[in-house]
Amino acid sequence: MTTLSPTPRSTLTRKKDRGATDRQALYDVLDEALICHLGLVLDGSPVVLPTGYGRDGDTLYLHGSTGAGNLRAAAKGIDVCVTVTLLDGLVYARSLNNHSMNYRSAVVHGRARLVQDAEEKMHGLHVVTEHLTPGSWDHARAVNPKEFASVAVLALGLEEASVKIRAGGPGEEPEDEDRTDIWAGVVPVQTTFGAPVPADYVPSDMRVPPHVNRARAR
Amino acid sequence: MTTLSPTPRSTLTRKKDRGATDRQALYDVLDEALICHLGLVLDGSPVVLPTGYGRDGDTLYLHGSTGAGNLRAAAKGIDVCVTVTLLDGLVYARSLNNHSMNYRSAVVHGRARLVQDAEEKMHGLHVVTEHLTPGSWDHARAVNPKEFASVAVLALGLEEASVKIRAGGPGEEPEDEDRTDIWAGVVPVQTTFGAPVPADYVPSDMRVPPHVNRARAR
């Protein structure tokens, strides 16, 4: 059946000393994905919210979300789990049980802190903005003081992180070796970007700037 | 900045009586997305795992994940939050603060139960399989008793669910009205499927079956 956690090809242990290869795999997943899912415990129950984020070295910056309003009170830190998933393929096997998905996922555990220092908060907003819409920081109108006060930024270290990758073809069972009547293989899944649609107030002769086209090309 | 929870256009309240329109919006998001993010609390800390799922009426079936092995012990039920997110666009505004994403997300809260009844468990596996790889249930080799025993299925009702949708162009601020030097608009984001890649043991003259091509066309 379809589960996302068979075949962990690459798992980081919860130790601070780990191979550069694993660390790079973590960075690659975090840098390629567009959004994360932020998990936290509110009143004893789990809450999972889709959230914008960005990475700077071994720190993730998260954009404070309305739905997690309680986060603002958590200036001292709050246990979170940030999960990022890239779905790469649908895996059809000869047995239903070996049906699966190709994917890369990163799971980060830690205590997120609300960024209070103004300079770091602005830096965090920069990192989050450039992750999703690279080039916008220099192109668009800067954040004014009122806007700056209205947003929250969380910081989370990447000390406790793991990566799981499933890639390649379907698993096989000896009992299915002669079943040449069953198709098996992978349907690749990709995230693609369409042609930019200008807002109706943008002058009709204005070209789409290079940074927007670059974002599409990734 | 980039946040996923501004502009909630459609929010289901936590009441059992709600409009058919909202309910349909919930179904639409759940049926279109491929994976969910399952949040639960383990040893007091939040854990978020990418997970396969499927919907049958007002029940979500989830494929038990290795990473959530403790779920097997939770036969009496465990509080979970299941979040499904479809990213539809990158929203570039004239102000950084109005940068955003177009998305549709569903958040389901509830107490998931481990499905123990064999008939319902098989039904749950059917629902999960057909969600991600429609047509495979009738095409591939059925689950044998050993495989059946090795998997776990969770069931979660859709009583407590909400949908958030952000669509359309970027937000505007009066102070930016004259800034015709800044591009604003939306870059659409889509999930697309590549050409099926057969496993190397599939006969070279075997055509890709219709159910696999149908899955690509959605």
CATH fold of A20-170+186-217 reads Pnp Oxidase; Chain A (2.30.110)
Give yes or no for B116 touching A (CB within 8 A): no
Q: At B187, which amino acid appears? A: V
> In this predicted model, what pLDDT tens digit does every residue of B12-22 receive, in sequence order?
443 344 344 68
Q: How far is B21 from chain A (nearest CA, A)?
A: 22
Average pLDDT across chain A, whole number:
87
Give yes or no for A216 touching B (CB within 8 A): yes
CB atoms B147 and A93 under 8 Å: no
Within 8 A of A212 by CB-CB distance, chain B residues are 92, 183, 185, 187
CB atoms A5 and B67 under 8 Å: yes
pLDDT at B17 (0 to 100): 44
* Both structure tokens of A36: 């994360």
pLDDT at B13 (0 to 100): 41
Within 8 A of A2 by CB-CB distance, chain B residues are 52, 63, 128-129, 131-133
CB atoms B183 and A198 under 8 Å: yes
Any idea where the domains of chain B sit in the sequence?
Answer: 20-173
CB atoms B185 and A202 under 8 Å: yes
Give yes or no for A188 touching B (CB within 8 A): yes
Give yes or no for B122 touching A (CB within 8 A): no
> In this predicted model, what pLDDT tens digit does every residue of A145-173 receive, in sequence order?
999 998 999 999 999 999 999 999 999 99
Largest CA distance in chain A: 69
CA atoms of B28 and A56, how far apart (whole Å): 36
Chains A & B: contacts with CB separation below 8 Å: 349
Q: Which residue has the tokens 């830690």?
A: A110
Element (H, E) at A217: helix A210-217
> In this predicted model, what pLDDT tens digit does every residue of B65-103 receive, in sequence order?
544 555 655 556 889 999 999 999 999 999 999 999 999
Looking at domain B20-173, its CATH architecture is Roll (2.30)
pLDDT, average across residues B207-217: 86
Give yes or no for A161 touching B (CB within 8 A): no
pLDDT, average across residues B128-132: 97
Portion of chain B with pLDDT greater than 90, in percent: 78
pLDDT at B7 (0 to 100): 32
CB atoms B203 and A180 under 8 Å: yes
Q: How confident is the model at residue A43 (pLDDT cuts 50, 70, 90)?
A: confident
